[in-house]
Structure 1
């Protein structure tokens, strides 16, 4: 009887040690999925802004610096009201425009999309900050038609 009581105590001790690890792992996975869903919102919207800039350029022979102007091309009436991201556009010159999804939360990563005039055709790139935070990503570059994300960011598929 003592040995079965002892085995039971060992099993209870093992369960007490492993359950917190199991639930912690599940909680981390759920947290990770929640962050990915929030980041996906910005990835989708900035990618859509890139595409809308291409259409805008084809119709107007130039890019726009206004998110409101792009909403028509996105099939939206209003800019997304987001607790997680703010969206903006920056123009450097007539040959490039940058679309931003900047995180409002310290634990989310920010995005930047670049639309460059390569020859006479707009080309796009979408980049993600390597680290989370409320940091506006640096602009991607165009070197002789080769688009590249800036240091500290990585290219993602659109």
Structure 2
């Protein structure tokens, strides 16, 4: 009996080794599952690359806003161009073109997208006198609601305001960050 068991076991092992590989149906199921996962992940991945590129503009506009505030505290007017602020930031990159303007009471900075899939960014500073007759500076950072390479809408500034919310605000086509 022992010999018969050994023979059957050897036959079983021999058959098992000849059944190596996958069937066509198994391969098709795996390919379909991979295709579905790729279709789900691809749009998310593409959004993440756009967000990464947009963070460049968000950081640059924010840095210029902060630098303008510091510059205005030390000077009688906001800086009228990027080089006056001495930030070492370029006025044009692969993804964005930046523009800075300033006067005695207000300053603006825009980051216009050079790629239609990216959103534009803008910022503004306004020097105003608050309810206690103290000089203050309001800053705002805006993100366009829709992506595109068109003109970036500049925030609204009001040097005659007495509260921060009225001194600088984003237009209807942008959201405040």
Greater RCO (Cα-Cα under 8 Å, separation 6 or more): 1
Q: Which has the higher strand share?
A: 1
Q: TM-score, normalised by structure 2?
A: 0.72
Match of 1:5 in 2: none
Q: Are 1:65 and 2:98 counterparts?
A: no
Aligned mates of 1:110, 1:66 — CA distance in 2: 19
| Equivalent position SS for 2:175 | strand
- What is the Cα deviation at residue 96 of structure 1? 1.4
Q: Any gaps of 5 or more consecutive residues in structure 1?
A: 1-7
Match of 1:89 in 2: 100
| Equivalent position SS for 1:112 | strand
CA deviation map 1:50-74 (0-9, x unaligned) = 000001101112111111111x2x3
Deviates more, 1:147-156 or 1:20-29: 20-29
Q: Are 1:111 and 2:132 counterparts?
A: no
The structure with the larger Rg is 2
Aligned mates of 2:96, 2:39 — CA distance in 1: 28
Question: For the Cα contact (< 8 Å) 2:115–2:149, is it kept in 1?
Answer: yes
Match of 2:137 in 1: 122
- What is the Cα deviation at residue 21 of structure 1? 2.4
- What is the Cα deviation at residue 14 of structure 1? 4.7
Aligned mates of 1:124, 1:130 — CA distance in 2: 19
Q: TM-score, normalised by structure 1?
A: 0.80
CA deviation map 1:57-99 (0-9, x unaligned) = 01112111111111x2x3x2x52651100110134x5321110
Deviating above 3 A after TM superposition, structure 1's stretches of 4 or more consecutive aligned residues are: 8-18
Aligned mates of 1:80, 1:97 — CA distance in 2: 16
Query: How many residues matched?
Result: 144
Aligned mates of 1:65, 1:81 — CA distance in 2: 17
Cα distance, 1:56–1:106 mapped onto 2, change above 3 Å:
same
Match of 1:3 in 2: none
| Equivalent position SS for 1:139 | coil
Match of 2:35 in 1: 20
- What is the Cα deviation at residue 9 of structure 1? 6.8
Aligned mates of 1:48, 1:136 — CA distance in 2: 21
Q: Are 1:99 and 2:109 counterparts?
A: yes
